[in-house]
Structure 1
């Protein structure tokens, strides 16, 4: 790693120039044997491959075999055979495997993180979030499986004579279509509870980050999960994703709102369920009583973690008039103190965008805003000297509705600042638009902040934290309202979505029909009298 060099523009500190003669990643190698070992897990016989290169420096990583429709059909056939046996596996055996996965992920985190950084270009500290999240997820569902899936007794219509039980039956084979921005955690965090519920999985990771997802599949097998239980296919969503939707018993999709609507329509045509975690234009509120140092530190993480390529990151920042100038001074200073770099080492505060497409989107949003009168407080430039897709963390002021970045998701290291005087107005502005994924509130009055949270139309709201408090609390559901999606991951909802509820009622002694020569009219009167009695006795 090179020494730190101050950016002459006054922006973030940088680590290492993008120079083939002095490549900060040169001491690391992704061995062909490693990539070959992983890519052999893809069900693909078409003979076609796609080359994948690292966003850090453009180095080739692997040639990914591409799956045909016949390959997807074969993956589902294998998964269905495996699922029939897996559904009979005891909860104790499933939990033991999940706990072994927990340990494997922690033991091999350096290997996992290296691969994530190579494929996604993110800073190492942001890549660490991925094995951390999977370890939390594995341990949670291992410890709570009985709580979620045990047969439950319910009230019978005739006390003592009607026994009612509700079983949780696995859906069958679940299709998981996961994104590139958190390639390891999103490959596993939704699929793992599907396995724990007794299902098999056919997974289609994003083509840009297949290797991290394939390493996740390898770790599942090493933890004891049957190999055929988790099938991986590769290819464009227009072909392979559609093929999955046409065969799965349930689909879990994470990605853009536009694509999510296509997935939902495909599932509706087959009358199967789906869960969708989609886009966001997430708001953060800094109230007049906020601790400004803590808020400034939190907003840097909220805005620039993984270069803003995080579905729950913040793109709209509303700051109370009373503290606006003091907060902005701190926020800009912390942003300009960030270290950017294209290395696999610890120490970088932000890494690269994933691709030219993401860089083009970020550049277009900032250039459009500036052309229409927005002010750049810091950042606002691509940094090809660092790597092909680097862009500086950027703070905009004076963003107005006619600017693209006002209401459209940027999905990059760009945040827009807005003043507010009245908290009711700030809440209304936070709720504007069609999205509702994540929000954050900074205030030293926790009770008041939680009251405001109830008025914000987002699936998760963090108080005095950016996103980690909700996302890492696996017992709590996580997902979006409105056009940010439907369904929830994590908690009970995160595993029950992969099951069908089955009610089983056993009736004793009496039947629901006239008995002993009783007429239909008399039967109706007896039942009416029983209903009135049950109400007096306080029965549900």
Structure 2
């Protein structure tokens, strides 16, 4: 297997939401494994974004009028197409990102899981809800949900399918339209799934893909959308949050992480060491929920480290378009500079490299070995800053209490992993960690894959949540409708105002004790 042929990209290029793509500048998209040119993509302008929003707004009104079950049929059909075309999608993901096929499959699985969950739950989550009224039996109170309008999605390059399409699925099911800016490195990952959405019956105006730089296309999306979903760095997220705040629109973001793993002295060390491989090096560490810090009780630190590094030495790095590789490439030379910079800075300041630490140009232009550091101290760049690459530091600690304290000592709070002597101990440790998700006896996949549960970050790692009920309700405006069935709060005819006011609180208390709503 190899990168998709030029004809595939030629077909997908026609799907960009640009009125005259031939009149636009183009950007070259490269095959990361080789550094060779794959194809080109037209670069959108602010005017293209405005036009996409105009079309989306007109289509969204008609879409919102369709029953939720009809919307679910289309998204469920899309899910089936994704499953059928998974090899095609994984080929595109590998070509544009340089990830191993197992990481590309995670992209595909995430779309399938999200579509499955939300098509099953959307009708119930979006239905009007009867809630307790001020005066049960006398007043009826119902909560309705209305779509916000047109949702803006600014997607990253590391999981470009999951973090564009999966975020759009609940927005579409909620009755919104979506305008998405894919990352400039990975536009065809989004376009390949846009094609499947259209084939499933979604009107193209409802899911518009406008490629282009964040400074132009991204800014225009923020200026025009009714709600913004963003995945990326904490610094960029803070800027976008400020822009959304000025417009008084909602904002959800999954941002950076410096994720810890805790390994206690009575944990299953061989199992933990093997699982740490995937937790740290999936997608070459270019995963916001990947593990970058490992805290191991000192009594077993040497044993754990030896087992972990032995697994690393057995890893396969390659450019294969199949499942033979354990790890693929970094996505770009810029990412390589960050990773090399963190490793070299750590070495210069006294850290030891006990595995990896080198570029691998013999495999591909931006391959870097899975790397383990010890003796990392706070003044090193990699200690507290997100590396976003295949680099992890191991820290021996004297107790579980110290491990918890150090794991929480970070501006980030996205994901964590816990390995302990029992499930109960692991869950007790997990409850004390200040992260949005915690995986017990797993690195990251179980929490992220639990699409019925919220996924997001605490502290500088994010605002809002994807997945679960919150992942669709955030794309809706709640409306409370309270109907006076018998009386309202004015005094009944013939009752003096003063007497009514004195009786009001005791009456409300008495009525609220009655059963029913």
In structure 1, C-alpha distance between the alignment counterparts of 2:464 and 2:334, rounded to whole Å:
29
Q: Deviations over 1:322-381 (max 9, x none)?
A: 211111110000011000001212210000000000000000000000011100111000
Q: Is the 8 A contact 1:105 1:135 kept in 2?
A: yes
1:299-318 equivalences under 5 Å are: 299-318=276-295
Q: Deviations over 1:461-497 (max 9, x none)?
A: 0000011100111001000000001100000010000
One of 346, 362, 367 as aligned partner of 2:339? 362
1:189 corresponds in structure 2 to 166
1:11 corresponds in structure 2 to none
Are 2:355 and 1:381 aligned?
Answer: no
1:15 corresponds in structure 2 to none
1:18-417 equivalences under 5 Å are: 28-44=2-18, 45=20, 46-417=23-394
Q: Deviations over 1:243-285 (max 9, x none)?
A: 1000100000000001000110000000000001000000000
Shift of 1:33: 2.1
Q: Is the 8 A contact 2:6 2:39 kept in 1?
A: yes
Shift of 1:511: 2.0
Shift of 1:539: 9.1
One of 435, 440, 446 as aligned partner of 2:412? 435
In structure 1, C-alpha distance between the alignment counterparts of 2:136 and 2:515, rounded to whole Å:
12
Please, which moves more after superposition, 513-522 or 381-390? 513-522
Q: Deviations over 1:62-88 (max 9, x none)?
A: 211011111100000011011000001
Secondary structure at 1:186 match in 2: coil
Shift of 1:185: 1.2
Please, which moves more after superposition, 459-468 or 51-60? 51-60
TM-score (norm 1): 0.93
One of 373, 389, 397 as aligned partner of 1:420? 397
In structure 1, C-alpha distance between the alignment counterparts of 2:510 and 2:102, rounded to whole Å:
64
Shift of 1:439: 0.2
Q: Is the 8 A contact 2:137 2:516 kept in 1?
A: no
TM-score (norm 2): 0.97
Please, which moves more after superposition, 34-43 or 74-83? 34-43
Q: Deviations over 1:135-193 (max 9, x none)?
A: 11101101111221111001122222211110111000000000000111112111110
Q: Deviations over 1:85-128 (max 9, x none)?
A: 00011121112112211111111000000010000001111111
Secondary structure at 1:377 match in 2: strand
Q: Which runs of 4+ in 1 moved over 4 A?
A: 535-540
Secondary structure at 2:305 match in 1: helix
Please, which moves more after superposition, 357-366 or 440-449? 440-449
In structure 2, C-alpha distance between the alignment counterparts of 1:86 and 1:531, rounded to whole Å:
42
1:3 corresponds in structure 2 to none
Q: Is the 8 A contact 2:117 2:451 kept in 1?
A: yes
Q: Is the 8 A contact 2:3 2:91 kept in 1?
A: no
Q: Is the 8 A contact 2:164 2:190 kept in 1?
A: yes
1:490 corresponds in structure 2 to 467
In structure 2, C-alpha distance between the alignment counterparts of 1:132 and 1:159, rounded to whole Å:
45
In structure 2, C-alpha distance between the alignment counterparts of 1:327 and 1:66, rounded to whole Å:
49
Consecutive unaligned residues of structure 1, counting only runs of 5 or more, are 1-26
Equivalent pairs counted in the alignment come to: 514
Q: Is the 8 A contact 1:187 1:216 kept in 2?
A: no
Please, which moves more after superposition, 89-98 or 173-182? 89-98
Consecutive unaligned residues of structure 2, counting only runs of 5 or more, are none
Give the direction of change, closer, same or farther, for the CA distance of 1:535–1:225 in structure 2 (3 Å limit): closer
Q: Is the 8 A contact 1:369 1:403 kept in 2?
A: yes
2:430 corresponds in structure 1 to 453
Shift of 1:29: 4.6
1:515 corresponds in structure 2 to 492
In structure 1, C-alpha distance between the alignment counterparts of 2:196 and 2:485, rounded to whole Å:
49
In structure 1, C-alpha distance between the alignment counterparts of 2:160 and 2:493, rounded to whole Å:
67
Shift of 1:536: 6.0
